[in-house]
Amino acid sequence: MRNLPSEVIIKEVGPRDGLQNEKQWISTENKIAWINMLSNTGVKEIEYSSFVSPQMIPALSDAREVGRRIKRNPNVSYSALVPNIRGLEYALEAGIDGASVFMSASETHNQKNINKTVESTYPILEEVIKEAKQAGKNVTGYVSTVFDCPYEGRIQPDKVLKVCEHLINAGADDISLGDTIGTAVPSQVEQLLEVIMKEFPKEKLILHFHDTRGMAIANIMTALHYGITRFDSTVGGLGGCPYAPGAAGNVDTNDVLYLLHGVGIHTGISERKMQDAGLYIQSELGKKLPSRSLAYISNL
């Protein structure tokens, strides 16, 4: 197809975004086994856990042990979510290549998710970014609710731009724009990218789609036409933010691979191995994941 990039980098965020919303406890042993499987799929980036308050995200309370014990593939960059300096210290001890800081463009979601106003989040993240950079780590700044907020409705692109500018000025290497509740349609993606790409080169932008309304693939296709080459996804379509009511999982990595490989874009990821990783975690969770691809291969 015309005007599409030849290569895309996918960050598999299943072990973090995928598991954070699950009631079913996955043992540390099995998390490690799953991340090791993902490490051998050819994926270049994995977000392996989250160093947040264990009261708020009990499913990932073993982040330190997971980080210490996963078998690192030298071709994979391992990152984790970090909300504050304490989280960064734990993450550095456990081992990270990249730190992901996070906040929302909308005031109410920011408050519910990290218990702070947008304004009072900046100094905290600025310090985390500074320390992480001093430790030689890549820093991604996640901005949530960039299209719609579960509490405030539509969010204007200028508001999102402001947060991106703060994070980049503080030293973040790149920005992941999050459709936290999975409600955006392609025209919203266009409107946001028109604003954001006036300020930042496409290399600094990652798109992170949840798939509540089934629009994530259409949105990714739209972003590809803008030259975006980095996307987050979760194998099996796992995921969701416990502080974003109604949000479904992230777009399924297998659907993204089917699209990208189908239109001739290289990812370096084996679809077969990614499906196996999806079947593994589906069986550990003991429930069918919202994945067309896993349903399809199970019916073959």
d(CA 103, CA 125): 9
Q: Of 166, 160, 158, whose CA–CA distance to 143 is shortest?
A: 160
3-class DSSP state of 49: strand
Q: Of 41, 36, 47, whose CA–CA distance to 13 is shortest?
A: 47
Question: Residue of minimal CB distance from ligand HMG?
Answer: 178
d(CA 253, CA 34): 15
Distance of CA 158 to CAs 52, 103, 164, Å? 28, 16, 10
51, 78, 226, 231: which one binds ligand HMG (CB under 6 A): 51
CB of 131 to ligand HMG, least distance (A): 13
> Within positions 191 to 220, which residues make up the interface with ligand HMG, using CB under 6 A?
208, 210
CB of 102 to Mg ion, least distance (A): 9
Could you confirm whether 164 is annotated as catalytic?
Answer: no
86, 154, 266, 288: which one binds ligand HMG (CB under 6 A): 86
38, 57, 101, 294: which one binds ligand HMG (CB under 6 A): 57
Closer residue to ligand HMG, CB minimum distance, 35 or 241 = 241
Task: Report the 10 Å Cβ neighbour count for 201.
Answer: 9
Closer residue to Mg ion, CB minimum distance, 233 or 282 = 233
Distance of CA 110 to CAs 114, 118, 143, 224, Å? 6, 6, 10, 28
8, 12, 17, 196: which one binds ligand HMG (CB under 6 A): 17
Closer residue to ligand HMG, CB minimum distance, 67 or 178 = 178
List the catalytic residue out of 13, 46, 241, 289.
241
Closer residue to ligand HMG, CB minimum distance, 214 or 268 = 214
The residue ranges that bind ligand HMG (CB under 6 A) are 17, 20, 50-57, 81, 83-84, 86-87, 102, 113-115, 142, 144, 178, 180, 208, 210, 241, 243
Catalytic residues: 241
